Amino acid sequence: MSQSREPRHPATAALVIGTGKGSGRRSGPRIPNSRLVKHGYWWWALPALTAIFSVHYVATLIGAFFSFTDYQGYGTFNMVGFDNYARIPLDPEVMASVGNTLFLAIGALVISNGVGLLLALALNRTLKTRYVLRTLLFLPVILSPLAVSYIFRFIFAIDGPMNQLLKVFGYSGTPIVWLANAKLSIWVILLVVSWQMIGVSMVIFLAGLATVPHEIEEAAAIDGAGTFTRFFRITVPLIQPALAISTTLGLIQGLKIFDQVLAMTGGGPFGATETLSLVVYNDTFTNMRFGYGASIAMVLTVIILIASGLQLWLTRDRAGVHN
């Protein structure tokens, strides 16, 4: 009969003895569960909570207070009640900026999420170069909005690459003044904003598609379901949480558009691209009407909260509604 061989190295022998059944010995010290739980003290989050509370909530409360005053950034001020808020609907500049803001926000939301979803579907599983393409398509997200805006400002200049490219394709008319045209400038800004937002939507949808079981799609294909049927009946319901996150973040980002407008057009020509964020900036720091600027900022905050809540409600998961 063959005899079992003992481990030659002492450390190996100790490992075998320590892991044997019934030996009651462990290969290393074990930390009690109570000590592991105690490592999660709630006050570890205090620095981050303090910073968020100070930067966001305290600043918002201070702005809300000054929105009821005639503060000009220096000296004393008086309480004026709701006079600043009453002026907003009568201000044509503010009302025009609301339309521009909604146009850019909704347009960027539709374009970025539509293109982002298509890219996520294309780069989800089978393409061999999908990891490299994902990285390249996500790069615009990490670039500075101001730097990107100045680059596109050069591209769409009257003697810039865009007009030169049009000449290559046979355009022989007067060079197009992209950023000084009241009808074209806002479309250029929409293009830039959407281009920078597509990468975020793509990554969110890729994370959602990773949760879709491949077996379900294969079973539906075997049963005769076509590509569009599988997409709308299987994929879309399963990625609904990702859809809610992407659309909500896109809507918030669109309502806060500021950098691209400031760098490319400054709100011109004649206010054609002015957004609410830019109006707040101009009234507060250029016209030195801190109280009025704070009231517009509070209106913008309320619009973002309402739009975000409505968006979350529209894209909520309805899986358990009828349960």
Q: Quick one: pLDDT band at residue 318, thresholds 50, 70, 90?
A: low
Give yes or no for a contact between 109 and 247, defined as CB atoms under 8 angstroms apart.
Answer: yes
Sign of the dihedral defined by the CA atoms of residues 4, 9, 12, 18, in that order? positive
Residue 10, pLDDT score: 44
Average pLDDT, the chain: 84
Radius of gyration (C-alpha) of the chain in whole angstroms? 29
- CA angle 100-204-308, nearest 5°? 40
- The DSSP string of 82-139 is THHHHHGGG-HHHHHHHHHHHHHHHHHHHHHHHHHHHHHHHTSSS-TTHHHHHHHHHH
Average pLDDT over residues 6-34: 47
- The DSSP string of 185-199 is HHHHHHHHHHHHHHH
CA pair distance 246, 206, nearest whole angstrom: 11
CA pair distance 82, 161, nearest whole angstrom: 49
Please give the structure tokens belonging to residue 76.
């004393």
Residue 119, pLDDT score: 94
Q: Quick one: pLDDT band at residue 232, thresholds 50, 70, 90?
A: confident
CA pair distance 260, 185, nearest whole angstrom: 11
Q: Please say if the pLDDT value at position 1 is more than 60.
A: no
Furthest-apart CA pair in the chain: how many Å? 102
Residue scoring higher pLDDT (257 or 128): 257
Residue 319 CB-density burial (10 A; 0-12 exposed, 13-18 middle, 19+ buried): exposed
Q: Please say if the pLDDT value at position 8 is more than 70.
A: no
What are the C-alpha distances in Å from 25 to residues 5, 7, 15, 29, 72? 21, 18, 10, 10, 75
CA 209 to chain centre: 18
DSSP3 helix / strand / coil % (the chain, rounded to 5): 65, 0, 35
CA pair distance 271, 309, nearest whole angstrom: 29
Instruction: Provide the residue type at 192 as one letter.
Output: V
Residue 320, pLDDT score: 47
Q: Please say if the pLDDT value at position 7 is more than 50.
A: no
Please state the length of the chain: 323
Average pLDDT over residues 133-160: 92
Residue 22, pLDDT score: 46
Residue 33, pLDDT score: 54
Q: Quick one: pLDDT band at residue 149, thresholds 50, 70, 90?
A: very high
Average pLDDT over residues 13-19: 42
Residue 176 DSSP one-character state: P
Give yes or no for a contact between 143 and 137, defined as CB atoms under 8 angstroms apart.
Answer: no
Q: Quick one: pLDDT band at residue 30, thresholds 50, 70, 90?
A: low
CA pair distance 73, 312, nearest whole angstrom: 37
Instruction: Work out the end-to-end distance of the chain between its first and last CA atoms, rounded to an integer number of angstroms.
Output: 65
For 161-203, write each residue's pLDDT tens digit. Answer: 999 999 998 888 888 999 999 899 999 999 999 999 999 999 9
Q: Please say if the pLDDT value at position 18 is more than 90.
A: no
Give yes or no for a contact between 100 and 272, defined as CB atoms under 8 angstroms apart.
Answer: yes
For 37-91, write each residue's pLDDT tens digit. Answer: 455 677 788 888 888 888 888 888 999 999 999 998 888 889 999 999 999 999 9
For 86-115, write each residue's pLDDT tens digit. Answer: 999 999 999 999 999 999 999 999 999 999
Instruction: Provide the residue type at 322 as one letter.
Output: H
Q: Please say if the pLDDT value at position 298 is more than 70.
A: yes
- Which residues, in sequence order, are CB contacts of 246 under 8 Å at separation 6+? 113, 116, 200, 201, 204, 205
CA pair distance 295, 300, nearest whole angstrom: 9
Residue 323, pLDDT score: 41
CA pair distance 183, 171, nearest whole angstrom: 20
Q: Please say if the pLDDT value at position 29 is more than 80.
A: no
Domains of the chain, start order: 89-314 (1.10.3720.10)
